A and B are shown apart, each in its own frame.
Chain A
Amino acid sequence: MIKNIQLLGQKLIATVARLGQASVFLYHILLTMPGVLIRPKLIIKQLYSTGVQTLIIILVAGTFVGMVLALQAYYVLVDFGAEDSISQMVVLSLMRELGPVITGLLFAGRAGSALTAEIGLMKSTEQLSGMEMMAIDPMQRVMAPRILAGFLAMPLLTAIFMAVGVLGGYLVAVHGVGIYEGVYWSLAQTKVDFYTDLMNGMIKSVVFGLVIVWIAVFEGHDSVPTSEGLGQATTRTVVHGSLAVLGLDFLLTALMFGDI
């Protein structure tokens, strides 16, 4: 019994220590940000690899999520004769929850894992050490542009996910189950509040983006420079990133929409 408590305590201390390390790591990166802002090329290159290369998966997933939402909404609402409200359900679900959350999960899986693998490999092949010995700060040249690019890419990807989701819902609602086109768009327009629904969703996406790239970059930098260590770090990025998205989503939803 005592041993189990000791083990639990050890785990807890190790977790808190790691969180502390990650916070100091982020602090060091943030200190180097001014140097990154004057080198937009570095950010644009990372925006391409974290944002543009994640675009296809976001477009496909967003379309299907919107289509499924519309279909499920129709099956429920048709019993009450309220199938005209499909767009309201699709748009609000996408903007408040599914847009930022699913984009976050996909971003952690696609861009987060790639970031960890890339930085971990740079560490294991001594590229980061090499930069340090060339008097070039890897925090500024490698880590900071990736953090900033992830921070910028997530809200853009979320907005795209929401947009294609709404279009996917439109396809099913209007061309699939025969809802009048004008009803679909007018309800989508009148029932959505710009600040409460859209902006809160975007705020969530910014928070998720920052947390995911922070985890991804830290895990890569802190990885054991072996193939096994790199694999474990990549897995941790996806698992911790996804759990962080879901946990933070609850907190943010409670703060934004609830009275908790």
Chain B
Amino acid sequence: MSFSRGSRKIFDDISLDIPRGKVTAIMGPSGTGKTTLLKLIGGQLRPEQGTIKMDNNDVHQLSRKDLYQLRKRMGMLFQSGALLTDINVFDNIAYPLREHTDLDESMIRSLVLMKLNAVGLRGARDLMPSELSGGMSRRVALARAIALDPVMVMYDEPFTGQDPISMGVLVNLIHRMNQHLHLSSIVVSHDVPETMSISDYIYLISGGKIVAQGTPDDLKNSNDPWVQQFIAGEADGPVPFHFPAEPVMQDLLS
């Protein structure tokens, strides 16, 4: 699959598999198009070349109605949470249930409370999104993402900007949910230790290409200097610390 924004090539003929029931991580430096990849999978963007298939359905060949049917089987946790700000936590989670099911209110209430209980926020049901901390917002968004019991959940930078406790909670939640609900998960992140701790398989993306792939152990043992720089978070290496410029002495003395 290839995808460009204007003249900039975001993905250059990449190919990847997301196995059922596993946690697959897409990692890479900021600006490599990880979020774009999730939008392509979700059918919000269209690839320039190639196809994206979910359960043998070509996402971009589906009619609008069929695409929406397919999306009911996908959940997505946005980086910002993307909670609707004019309704409270309970209604945010009830929203997809009310829209897509004919369940009565008492059943919806039970389902919402169960989802909230799973993320530890049953007591926060009456709060408005503006009253939630960043970590709580993501947990509510996670509860909403699984509201319709999807078969696949996409997590967009779930750990970014979280304090250590929230991060630990989220790591644990994603891991547990994947196990207990038998989900296929795609985690897009550049938080190396957290993502590696819950992933079954990892794709490292940079410059529009898949530069490395394998299990977390494969990558830890990789001899590729780029992979080692990324995993160890070293400031300098194949990815230079300095933005291209003339030598510093020449610049200072000019």
Contact B80 A137 (CB under 8 A): no
CB distance from B146 to the nearest CB of A (A): 12
CB distance from B222 to the nearest CB of A (A): 33
CB distance from A39 to the nearest CB of B (A): 10
Known contacts A132-B44, A133-B44, A134-B99; A125/B69 CB under 8 A: no
Residue from B71, B84, B100 in contact with A133 in the complex, judged by beta carbons closer than 8 Å? B71
Contact A135 B100 (CB under 8 A): yes
Contact A127 B71 (CB under 8 A): no
Contact A133 B76 (CB under 8 A): yes
In B50-101, the 8 Å CB interface with A consists of 68-69, 71-72, 74-76, 78-80, 82-85, 95-96, 99-100
Contact B44 A135 (CB under 8 A): no
Interface size class of A (residues with CB under 8 A): 10 to 19
Chain A residues within an 8 Å CB radius of B68: 135, 137
A60 vs B44: C-alpha distance when bound (angstroms)? 45
Chain B residues within an 8 Å CB radius of A93: none
**Residue A130, interface by CB 8 Å:** yes
Known contacts A126-B78, A126-B79, A129-B44; A134/B85 CB under 8 A: no
CB distance from A65 to the nearest CB of B (A): 33
Known contacts A125-B85, A127-B82; A134/B95 CB under 8 A: yes
Contact B71 A130 (CB under 8 A): no
Contact A135 B78 (CB under 8 A): no
CB distance from B223 to the nearest CB of A (A): 39
**Residue B158, interface by CB 8 Å:** no
Contact B71 A126 (CB under 8 A): no
Q: Which residue of A lies closest to B68 (CB)?
A: A135
CB distance from A178 to the nearest CB of B (A): 52
Contact A125 B82 (CB under 8 A): yes
Chain B residues within an 8 Å CB radius of A76: none
CB distance from B209 to the nearest CB of A (A): 26
Chain A residues within an 8 Å CB radius of B76: 130, 133
Chain A residues within an 8 Å CB radius of B75: 133
Of the listed residues A126, A134, A136, the one surrounded by the most CB atoms of chain B closer than 10 A to its CB is A134
Chain A residues within an 8 Å CB radius of B82: 125-127, 129-130
**Residue B216, interface by CB 8 Å:** no
Chain B residues within an 8 Å CB radius of A136: 95-96, 99
A122 vs B96: C-alpha distance when bound (angstroms)? 17
A242 vs B99: C-alpha distance when bound (angstroms)? 37
A36 vs B96: C-alpha distance when bound (angstroms)? 17
Residue from B72, B80, B83, B85 in contact with A135 in the complex, judged by beta carbons closer than 8 Å? B72
In A15-61, the 8 Å CB interface with B consists of none
Chain A residues within an 8 Å CB radius of B144: 134
Contact A127 B74 (CB under 8 A): no
Chain B residues within an 8 Å CB radius of A133: 42, 44, 71, 74-76, 78
A125 vs B72: C-alpha distance when bound (angstroms)? 21
CB distance from A191 to the nearest CB of B (A): 47
Q: Which residue of B lies closest to A126 (CB)?
A: B82
Residue from B71, B84, B99, B100 in contact with A132 in the complex, judged by beta carbons closer than 8 Å? B71
Known contacts A126-B78, A129-B78; A135/B84 CB under 8 A: no
A129 vs B44: C-alpha distance when bound (angstroms)? 8
CB distance from A29 to the nearest CB of B (A): 14
A129 vs B82: C-alpha distance when bound (angstroms)? 8
Chain A residues within an 8 Å CB radius of B100: 135
A130 vs B42: C-alpha distance when bound (angstroms)? 11
Chain A, 129-173, contact with B by CB distance < 8 Å: what is the 0/1 string?
Answer: 111111111000000000000000000000000000000000000
A132 vs B68: C-alpha distance when bound (angstroms)? 8
Q: Besides the contacts A125-B80, A135-B71, what 6 more A-B pairs have beta carbons closer than 8 Å?
A: A129-B44, A130-B82, A133-B44, A135-B69, A135-B96, A136-B95
A-B contact pairs, 26 of them (CB 8 A): A125-B80, A125-B82, A125-B85, A126-B78, A126-B79, A127-B83, A127-B85, A130-B78, A130-B84, A132-B42, A132-B44, A132-B71, A133-B44, A133-B71, A133-B75, A133-B76, A133-B78, A134-B71, A134-B96, A134-B144, A134-B148, A135-B69, A135-B72, A136-B95, A136-B99, A137-B68
